[in-house]
């Protein structure tokens, strides 16, 4: 394989504040031959996700920081082109953590999230979005933590993103009233028109907690029973003021703190007064449930009952810019990079 070249994106430096394209470098290396127990995959799509920003810092988190001068960590979907591992043959499609590169070697025994996927009814790219890790995050937080029901009100932030849009659509299937929070009138329109939410609040038009709380009150006249929080900060504070007694909050992400500045909850007394259940979760903690979740989400996508949008940038060199765009809200739906 040494005649084929592999292009990779490495983390060259750690961001100070916001991430920039200068934090990344493009590196070319020969493609390696797979050894016993390994497969070589030509990646068709790379997934760009907000968690990658946290890994760029040299800070304590739930996973070790991304090492400098190594391939950026990331989910990939592609085709097996050479195999020395039992059970894998060239031509099969797989999803795993292949990194920001065109070709990946997987040691199949040491790649817990490597799965073969069937692309006859679900497009390959969806296994990085609605039917992959982000979709499973929405599915788990909605169906295992919040458990919405008919007659209740379910609110989700970053509602046009892949996690939020899956969580909200699944909540809608239960008969709950579903309200999204998203940035800008166009995203809010899509959340209602394409994903079938009952309402969507544009948080960019309501910058302070009081104004946002007023808009939420209008959108949620019966209060909020379940909140799927992707953001934290002011949005979380505003939703808490409208939570009903014994409400549930699934703490999924903290997009408002990606710059590293802590954003404490403004009125923790409300958690007590309203007897709220707040549960943080990582989808990786329950990988035992992934096959069940993928089956459910795959069937919904195949039947047209779960919709999603993708923003696809072309070529690996476009990945750093697309990643920065994702963090600033430029992507509509799932941000992917098409590789080969
Ligand atoms: N716990 C887990 O296991 C797990 C797994 C996967 C993902 N997550 C989390 O799930 C969340 C959503 O992920 P995703 O992949 O679907 O990404 P996403 O929603 O597409 O994320 C980017 C979006 O976040 C919004 N955003 C950025 N900064 C914001 C801010 N300060 N306030 C409000 N919104 C802001 C922007 O949308 P607007 O234009 O609407 O502002 C942007 O388009 C993230 O927090 C991610 O870390 C958690």
From the list 137, 141, 166, 139, the residue with the least C-alpha distance to 284 is: 137
- Determine which residue's CA is closest to atom 28 belonging to ligand 1: 255
State the distance from the centre of ligand 1 to the C-alpha of 217, rounded, in angstroms. 23
Q: What is the 6 CA–ligand 1 centroid distance (Å)? A: 30
pLDDT(335) > 90: yes
Confidence of residue 63 (pLDDT cuts 50, 70, 90): confident
Residue with tokens 């259940």: 277
64: DSSP letter = P
- pLDDT value at 234 more than 90: yes
Q: How far is the CA of 328 from the centre of ligand 1 (A)?
A: 10
For residue 313, CA distances in Å to 43, 46, 123, 150, 331 come to: 14, 10, 17, 39, 10
pLDDT at res. 200: 98
Residue 329 zone, left/alpha/beta (φ > 0; ψ -120 to 50; rest): left
Q: Is the pLDDT of residue 196 over 90?
A: yes
Sorting pLDDT into bands at 50, 70 and 90, what band is 11?
very high
Cα separation, 34 vs 149, in Å, equals 49
Closest approach atom of ligand 1 to CA 183: 40
pLDDT digits (tens, 9 = 90+) for 169-184: 999 999 999 999 999 9
As a whole number of angstroms, the distance between CA 160 and CA 192 comes to 10
Give the confidence band of 61 by pLDDT, cuts at 50, 70, 90.
confident
Q: Do 223 and 239 touch, CB atoms closer than 8 A?
A: no
Average pLDDT over residues 63-75: 94
pLDDT given at position 139: 98
The reported pLDDT for the residue numbered 132 is: 98
The residue whose CA is least distant from atom 2 of ligand 1 is: 282
Q: How far is CA 249 from CA 64, 71, 82, in A?
A: 27, 35, 45
Q: What is the pLDDT of residues 298-308, one digit of tens each?
A: 999 999 999 99
pLDDT score at 62? 72
Please list every protein residue whose CB sits less than 6 Å from any atom of ligand 1. 49-51, 134, 137, 158, 160-164, 182-184, 187, 230-231, 235, 252-253, 255-256, 281-283, 326, 329, 331
Q: What percent of the chain shows pLDDT beyond 90?
A: 94
Task: Round to whole Å and give the CA distance between 87 and 199.
Answer: 47
Please report which helix (H) or strand (E) contains residue 322, including its range.
helix 319-327
According to the model, what pLDDT value does residue 72 have? 98
Q: What is the pLDDT of residue 243?
A: 98
pLDDT of residue 1 exceeding 70: no
Coil, strand or helix: which one is 109?
Answer: helix
Pocket test for ligand 1, best of 57, 158, 257, 259 (most atoms within 8 A of CB): 158
Please give the mean pLDDT across all residues of the chain: 96
- Regarding predicted confidence, which is higher, 262 or 313? 313
Strand pairing of 76-83 and 115-117?
A: unpaired
The two tokens of residue 9 are 């994106």
Q: What is the spatial distance between Cα 35 and Cα 102, in angstroms, rounded to a whole number?
A: 19
Q: Cβ contacts of residue 233 below 8 Å, gap of 6+? A: 254, 256, 257, 263
Identify the pLDDT of residue 259: 76
Q: State residue 262's pLDDT score.
A: 84
Distance from C-alpha of 100 to C-alpha of 338, rounded to nearest angstrom: 11
The residue behind tokens 């060199």 is: 317
Per-residue pLDDT averaged across 324-334, rounded? 95
What are the pLDDT digits (tens) for 287-297? 999 999 999 99
Q: How far apart are CA 196 and CA 156, in angstroms?
A: 13
What are 76's strand-pairing partners?
A: 46, 96
Interval 121-170: pLDDT, tens: 999 999 999 999 999 999 999 999 999 999 999 999 999 999 999 999 99
**Whole-angstrom Cα distance, residue 135 to residue 323?**
19
Q: What is the pTM of this model?
A: 0.97
**Mean pLDDT confidence for 257-278:** 92
The closest of 186, 121, 127, 193 to 162, measured between CA atoms, is 127
Question: In a mutational test of the pocket of ligand 1, which residue from 253, 287, 335 has the highest number of ligand atoms less than 8 Å from its CB?
Answer: 253
For strands 103-107 and 38-47, give the pairing: antiparallel
pLDDT at residue 2, rounded to an integer? 62
Q: Where are the beta strands (DSSP E) in 121-242?
A: 153-157, 177-182, 199-202, 224-229
Q: What is the spatial distance between Cα 309 and Cα 147, in angstroms, rounded to a whole number?
A: 25
Which of the listed residues 163, 239, 250, 330 should we mutate to test ligand 1's pocket, taking the one with most ligand atoms within 8 A of CB? 163
């Amino acid at each position: 394989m040494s005649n084929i070249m592999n292009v990779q994106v490495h983390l060259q430096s750690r961001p100070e504040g916001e991430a920039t394209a200068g934090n990344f470098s493009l590196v070319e290396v020969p493609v390696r031959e797979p050894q016993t127990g390994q497969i070589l995959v030509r990646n068709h799509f790379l997934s760009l996700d907000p968690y990658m920003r946290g890994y760029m810092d040299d800070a304590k988190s739930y996973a070790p920081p991304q090492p400098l001068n190594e391939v950026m960590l990331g989910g990939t979907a592609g085709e097996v082109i050479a195999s020395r591992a039992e059970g894998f043959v060239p031509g099969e499609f797989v999803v795993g953590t292949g990194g920001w590169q065109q070709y990946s070697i997987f040691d199949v025994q040491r790649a817990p999230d490597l799965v073969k996927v069937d692309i006859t009814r679900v497009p390959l790219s969806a296994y990085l979005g609605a039917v992959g890790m982000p979709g499973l995050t929405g599915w788990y937080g909605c169906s295992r933590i919040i458990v919405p029901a008919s007659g209740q009100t379910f609110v989700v932030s970053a509602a046009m993103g892949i996690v939020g849009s899956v969580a909200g659509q699944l909540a809608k299937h239960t008969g709950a009233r579903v309200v999204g929070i998203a940035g800008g009138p166009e995203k809010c329109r899509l959340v209602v028109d394409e994903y079938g939410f009952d309402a969507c609040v544009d948080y960019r038009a309501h910058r302070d907690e009081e104004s946002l709380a007023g808009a939420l009150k209008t959108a949620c006249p019966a209060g909020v029973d379940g909140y799927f929080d992707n953001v934290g900060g002011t949005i979380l504070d505003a939703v808490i003021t409208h939570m009903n007694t014994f409400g549930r909050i699934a703490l999924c992400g903290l997009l408002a703190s990606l710059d590293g500045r802590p954003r404490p909850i403004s009125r923790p007394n409300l958690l007590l007064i309203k007897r709220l259940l707040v549960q943080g979760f990582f989808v990786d903690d329950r990988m035992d449930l992934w096959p069940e979740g993928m089956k459910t989400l795959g069937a919904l996508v195949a039947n047209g009952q779960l919709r999603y949008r993708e923003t696809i940038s072309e070529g690996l060199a476009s990945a750093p810019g697309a990643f920065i765009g994702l963090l600033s809200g430029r992507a509509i739906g799932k941000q992917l990079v098409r590789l080969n």
